[in-house]
Amino acid sequence: MATLTMLEPAQQKTVSAPTPNGPDEFQGLITETSNAASEGLDTKSALEIARIINHEDAKIAAAVKKALPEIAIVIDTVARSLRDGGRLIYVGAGSSGRIASLDASECPPTFSTAPAQVQYIMAGGPKALASASDVNEDSPELGQRDIARRRPTRKDIVIGVSASGRTPYVVGAVEYARARGAKTAAITCNLNTALADVADTTIVTEVGPEVISGSTRMKSASAQKMILNMITTGAMTRLGYVYDNLMVNVHMKNAKLVERGIRVLMKVCNIDREAAIRTIKSAGKSIPIAVVMLKANVDKMEAVRRLTKSDGNVRLAIDDSRLEL
């Protein structure tokens, strides 16, 4: 075990994180084992290869289903953190980091969240999104350094994403965040891992060996994408940024999203297109304000007041009496 010194002199303490131990530490990782179903893959036709991959991919949803209780815990933890002014910060390396960065980057246009609310850090930094920088993932010290720059607090939740569950960079970052009081979670595809040991909640999806042994950009990454979709969509829905099953917080920054906003308002309020466009304009191009104006029959100023009081929860803002409960 390597001992990591906190980077801020005013609050010195130490946290520990694993260092690579050679080939033995990979023994027992199901994500690294050979898949009998894909033996002789290089001798197969294109259709046979596609069928094998498809057959293995069919196992992913079932594996995720087994982890739903833990996913629900993380959804509520994220919602509480964001409601209290905290942040969701993903930590990953390689494919896991890229999946995390995708989820973080899609929250602002989907839910109109501020970019700072859902963040990511990954081994090698942003440049590793396009160019592999896998050597950095072996350093718990770099993970500690990178998360320390975000100054995690008890209001935040830090989620480590690692298919193997042993990536030193991710383990070091999550352990540091937990030592600072942040809530922590782990998303892995193996049981009994170092990452699980340093997280408050662990989501494990045992998707089994990959079609290409150890290529966790395949089933493992697909499982991670499904889980991250559930976490942020679930948390934003719990916060009231979704009304019914509609994207009422859509950020109308391009023609497609403007059209989506118009359709959402038409459906929610059962009005025609012209009325929807007029209301959106009078609401300052805010769909939540427009929805509250129409559903509660109030002016823009009152709609803004209600949304402020409800922390952006559209349903609560419509029924103002519930805000007093």
**The two three-digit tokens of residue 143, written as one number:** 């993970």
Cα separation, 76 vs 72, whole angstroms: 6
Is 137 considered catalytic here?
A: yes
Cα separation, 114 vs 137, whole angstroms: 28
Contact in structure between 2 and 18 (CB atoms under 8 Å)? yes
- Select which of 25, 32, 106, 141 is catalytic: 106
- Select which of 56, 70, 137, 210 is catalytic: 137
Q: What string of DSSP letters covers 262-312?
A: HHHHHHHHT--HHHHHHHHHHTTS-HHHHHHHHHHT--HHHHHHHHHHTTT
Calculate the alpha carbon distances from 232 to 20, 108, 110, 158, 251 in Å. Answer: 32, 11, 10, 13, 16
- At a CB cut-off of 8 Å and minimum separation 6, what does 109 contact? 250, 251, 253, 257
Cα separation, 322 vs 179, whole angstroms: 38
**How deeply is 144 buried, as exposed, middle or buried, from its count of CB atoms within 10 A (0-12, 13-18, 19+)?**
buried
Is 106 considered catalytic here?
A: yes
Residues known to be catalytic: 106, 137
